[in-house]
């Protein structure tokens, strides 16, 4: 079985029909939920009450990506609400180690996200505290942006760091992931792929998930 995982982002879904939209991608591994507070990023989406409802409506576990200020205060609540994975931005966290531990204690996988220009090297010693690193390949805030190739070397370096530490941490890529870009990401060492517009703009979203998965798995096996 391939280790590739696909996490469709509902940011590109129809917000008036979220329950139907999460059920439109039954072959996905996760449902990626972008929480934005209009402070950490210049956009506003949804928060804890909607996540509490989606936990019940979704056939797949929720992968919550918190693009918010003060995640130290808010992130553990998403884990308590039943999200399977909770990712905070390191640029916004006051005490990232304490926060990662709080997320795990509340029962979720702990993820840490880095914006495109944030270096990964200072966080090498934190890997044992994390279940996933999310590398943004667009500036966070909006779906449908162009993939930033400039992040590819950081994906490779992060894969090397993770492998040096036993390889247990997942490496997620978010932003501009599509049929055009997913192979480059997989070859560089990513194993969890967020795709918003590439999935929800497709005529058959679940078929789009399957195609992205096959492309990523083929690319990953070429470099294995």
Q: What is the contact surface with ligand DX5 in residues (CB under 6 A)?
A: 9, 11-12, 32, 34, 65, 138, 140-145, 174-177, 194-198
Is residue 206 part of the annotated active site? The answer reads no
Q: Which residues bind Zn ion (CB under 5 A)?
A: 34, 65, 174
Choose between 71 and 140: whose C-beta lies nearer to ligand DX5. Answer: 140
Choose between 11 and 151: whose C-beta lies nearer to ligand DX5. Answer: 11
**CA dist list (Å): 192 to 46, 57, 62, 76, 135:** 23, 22, 14, 22, 10
Choose between 34 and 131: whose C-beta lies nearer to ligand DX5. Answer: 34
Q: Are 151 and 136 in contact (CB under 8 A)?
A: yes
Least distance CB 177 / ligand DX5 (angstroms): 5
- CB neighbour list of residue 206: distance below 8 Å, 6 or more residues apart: 24, 25, 26, 27, 28
**CA 66 from centre of chain:** 10
Residue 152 binds which entry of Zn ion, ligand DX5, none, with Cβ cut-offs from 5 to 8 Å by kind? none
Is residue 14 part of the annotated active site? The answer reads no
Measured in degrees and rounded to the nearest 5, phi and psi for residue 166 equal 100, -10
Least distance CB 81 / ligand DX5 (angstroms): 19
Choose between 148 and 165: whose C-beta lies nearer to Zn ion. Answer: 148
Q: Using CB atoms within 10 A of its CB, is residue 135 exposed (0-12), middle (13-18) or buried (19+)?
A: buried
Residue 8 binds which entry of Zn ion, ligand DX5, none, with Cβ cut-offs from 5 to 8 Å by kind? none
Residue 27 binds which entry of ligand DX5, Zn ion, none, with Cβ cut-offs from 5 to 8 Å by kind? none
Q: Which of 12, 80, 20 is nearest to 52 (CA)?
A: 80
Least distance CB 144 / ligand DX5 (angstroms): 5
Least distance CB 50 / ligand DX5 (angstroms): 15
- Whole-angstrom Cα distance, residue 155 to residue 184? 10
Q: Can you give the length of the chain in residues?
A: 224
- Active-site pick, 29, 37, 63, 174: 174
The catalytic residue positions are: 34, 174
């Amino acid at each position: 079985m391939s280790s590739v995982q696909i996490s469709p982002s509902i940011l590109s879904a129809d917000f008036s029909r979220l329950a139907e939209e999460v059920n439109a991608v039954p072959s996905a591994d996760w449902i990626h939920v972008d929480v934005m507070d209009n402070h950490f990023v210049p956009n506003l989406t949804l928060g804890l009450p909607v996540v509490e409802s989606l936990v019940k409506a979704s056939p797949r576990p929720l992968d919550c990506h918190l693009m918010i200020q003060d995640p130290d205060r808010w992130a553990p609540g998403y884990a308590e609400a039943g999200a399977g994975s909770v990712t905070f931005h390191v640029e916004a966290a006051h005490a990232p180690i304490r926060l990662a531990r709080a997320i795990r204690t509340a029962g979720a996988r702990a993820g840490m996200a880095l914006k495109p220009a944030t270096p990964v090297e200072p966080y090498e010693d934190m890997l044992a505290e994390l279940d996933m690193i999310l590398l943004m390949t667009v500036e966070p805030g909006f779906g449908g942006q162009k993939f930033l190739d400039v992040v590819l070397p950081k994906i490779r370096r992060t894969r090397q760091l993770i492998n040096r530490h036993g390889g247990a941490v997942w490496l997620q890529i978010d932003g501009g992931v599509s049929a055009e870009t997913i192979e480059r990401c997989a070859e560089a060492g990513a194993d969890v792929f967020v795709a918003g517009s590439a999935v929800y703009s497709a005529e058959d979203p679940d078929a789009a998930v399957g195609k992205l998965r096959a492309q990523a798995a083929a690319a990953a096996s070429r470099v294995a």
